[in-house]
Chain A
Amino acid sequence: MSDLVGIVIVSHSKDIAKGTADMVRQMVGSKIKVAFCGGNPDGGLGTDVSGIIQAIDIAWSPKGVVILVDLGGAETNSEMAVEMLRPERRDLVVVCNAPIVEGAVMAATEAAGGSSLEQVRAAAEELSAG
């Protein structure tokens, strides 16, 4: 299972992050690794760079990891988290420009078929193109 692209969900709300991850697991099963984080370090609404780094570790695959985010701060914090990874991992983690729930489901469906990191990202981002 480690040869499938992993998925990380980053929301300002832990409930949204967990709920999105639950939906992904229900729709594509447990073939792929899905990790999530939501909320700030105090448990309120927000996003947390160290939490995102941990989620990337959990979802890690040699094929890479895609991150789905909700609002602006989640994107900024996710980009920051990617930059703080070990250099050999940085190029294998991408933040998708896609709606969080639909993007996560599309990415996971694509990843479950063994697609590459770029294919998984493109599947999620198709939703934003139209």
Chain B
Amino acid sequence: MSLEPETFKSLVRAAADQVIASAPELTALDQAIGDGDHGANMKRGFEAVLGKLEVIGAQPLDEALKTIGRTLVMTVGGASGPLYGSFFMAVGDALSKKRLPEDLAEVFGRGVGAVSARGRSQPGEKTMLDVLFPVLETLKSEAGHPNLIERVRVTATEAAARTAPMLATKGRASFLGRRSVGHVDPGARSSCVLLHAVCDSLEVG
């Protein structure tokens, strides 16, 4: 896994483009069980990230991830801003002391832990953590596997789909109670979109 500045920049661009392209789908999911703003919020946040791409590309990786996190916190305008923002800021922080690819699971785990702390949430509550935790488990159990990227992609897809039958107990969807059952969680879906974009980009690069 090489992460040269140009590779990282194209990775960020690809991830942002994918999130922006998925905004209508995220909005539709959020209209079913939330307040319908997840697509627009994520689009606004990742457009702001694209606007800072030159700055981000010129920074060391740990600082670049913190810049992405702070940008999302400041621009997303929903609960997902601090959640995704905390993820990237914690990952950046962890990276300043760790190395890739050998510490990938640990670094990713720091980000997942930050999301869990920020949202005071655990897996099984129909949130983005229901994608992030299974992916963390895959990164741990399949570390060094030649098909790790494909395993992560499959894990993310399956985990996002598994949020459909879950009952939401956190976030706006929890107000719906039983009516949240049957819909994929928008945050789980946006996490899946981001992870797929990163996987695709790493494979190409």
Interface of A toward B, CB cutoff 8 Å: 12, 40-42, 44-50, 71-73, 76-77, 79-80, 84
Contacts and interface: CB of A to CB of B under 8 A. Distances in A.
B37 A41 contact: no
B40 interface: yes
Contacts of B150: none
Contacts of A71: 172
B77 A41 contact: yes
B44 A42 contact: yes
B41 A40 contact: yes
Contact of B82 (A42, A45, A77): A77
B171 A72 contact: yes
Contacts of A72: 79, 170-172
Interface string B170-188: 1110000000000000000
A77 B37 contact: no
B77 A46 contact: yes
Given A42-B77, A72-B172, A73-B78, 16 more contacts: A41-B44, A41-B75, A46-B78, A49-B73, A49-B82, A50-B74, A72-B170, A73-B79, A73-B172, A76-B79, A76-B83, A76-B119, A77-B78, A77-B82, A80-B81, A80-B86
B78 A80 contact: no
B79 A77 contact: yes
Contacts of B78: 40, 46-47, 73, 77
Interface in B131-178: 170-172
B118 interface: yes
A42 B172 CA distance: 20
Contacts of B74: 49-50
Contacts of B81: 49, 77, 80
A79 B77 contact: no
A116 to B, nearest CB: 27
Contacts of B83: 76
Nearest to B171: A72
B48 to A, nearest CB: 9
Given A41-B44, A42-B44, A46-B37, A84 B73 contact: yes
Contacts of B79: 72-73, 76-77
B92 interface: no
Nearest to B175: A71
B113 interface: no
4 tightest A-B contacts by CB? Answer: A40-B77, A73-B79, A80-B82, A46-B77
A45 B38 CA distance: 11
A33 to B, nearest CB: 24
23 contacts: A40-B37, A40-B41, A40-B44, A41-B44, A41-B75, A42-B44, A44-B37, A46-B37, A46-B78, A49-B74, A49-B81, A50-B74, A71-B172, A72-B171, A72-B172, A73-B78, A73-B79, A76-B79, A76-B83, A76-B118, A77-B82, A79-B82, A80-B85
